[in-house]
Amino acid sequence: MKIGIVGCAGRMGRMLVKAVDETPGAELAGGSEMAGSEFVGQDPAVLAGLPASGLSITDDAAALFAASDAVVDFTAPAATVAHAKLAAEHNTALIPGTTGLDASQQAEIEQAAAHVAIVQAANYSVGVNVLQVLTEQAAQMMGDDFDIEVLEMHHRHKVDAPSGTALALGQSAALGRGVDLEKVSQRVRDGFTGERTKGDIGFATLRGGMVVGDHTVMFASDDERIELTHKASDRGLFAKGAIRAALWTEGKAPGLYSMRDVLGLG
Ligand code: NAD
């Protein structure tokens, strides 16, 4: 399968180029970057620390979509929306890993999924997807005497908060509890906040160093506490999962799929 990587000079972009190289059945169709980027014209493989591929990074995203069976996109929200439109136009499957999309940007991804297969995940690791299932089950089993808090830490360069994975875990907890996350989510606490409201799902964000991604879902009652934790130690993990998702789209009908579909987790 021919796989294109948009934003191929980014932290994840380079990992994705490497993951394509390491995955049997996957072939690099090319890479793109923003117009004006110093990386346009360079070899995406060399940038990823691999031998020369003879390809050169383009700023013509439409041409990359035309040349690819699937495109993987870990860029920025506005770029991902534009890429989703190109995916629908060119009938090219899309794996959008970008986080921090607002509701209207998310709606545009859903519109594109009416035309082509899209596998969207806040986190493409096996471990976090299992953690989502466990969080949903735990929230269902423990009832609302347990306060739920989601804690995350990432590297100093991350630009959105809480992380997409933290929000996805909050969503799993809300599903398990049968509530609407939008109505119970407590994303920021500062100053004189008053007591915790029963039923809230709280979020706490830490940033620093080069932490790849740590997430803990905490269930706290008067007498006991359960903590479910996942720690990613290499961002190549997300890249490998995203390429696995790209290969999975072969022959799939249009639709918005999740990593849980790819992994068969239901
Ligand atoms: P980064 O800033 O290092 O890389 C983003 C790249 O995209 C940059 O090279 C930038 O120039 C490029 N880009 C931006 N707009 C573009 C456009 N219109 N066309 C082509 N290229 C464009 O960031 P990063 O750390 O690689 O993270 C990127 C995104 O991936 C973030 O939203 C992050 O949260 C997300 N992420 C998701 C997962 C997951 O598993 N879903 C894992 C890690 C990171």
pLDDT tens column, 163-186: 999 999 999 999 999 999 999 999
CA R_g for the chain: 19
In this predicted structure, what is the pLDDT of residue 266? 73
Convert the pLDDT of each residue in 213-243 to its tens digit: 999 999 999 999 999 999 999 999 999 999 9
Query: Could you tell me the domains of the chain?
Result: 2-120+235-263 (3.40.50.720), 126-232 (3.30.360.10)
- Ligand 1 centroid distance, CA of 192 (Å): 36
Angle at which helices 236-248 and 11-22 cross, to 10°: 60
Atom of ligand 1 nearest to the CA of 124: 40
Give dist(CA 112, CA 264) in Å, integer. Answer: 23
pLDDT tens-digit map of 86-95: 999 999 999 9
Write down the pLDDT at residue 143. 86
What is the pTM assigned to this prediction?
Answer: 0.91
Q: Tens digit of pLDDT for each residue in 49-98? A: 999 999 999 999 999 999 999 999 999 999 999 999 999 999 999 999 99
pLDDT above 80 for 29: yes
CB 137 within 8 A of CB 113: no
Which of 18, 154, 215, 230 is an active site residue? 154
Token pair recorded at residue 129: 């997807």
Q: Rounded to an integer, what distance in angstroms lies between the CA atom of residue 219 and that of residue 235? A: 27
The strand pairing partners of 6, in sequence order, are 32, 73
Report the chain's mean pLDDT, rounded to a whole number: 97
CB 165, CB 213: distance < 8 Å: yes
**240 flagged as catalytic:** no
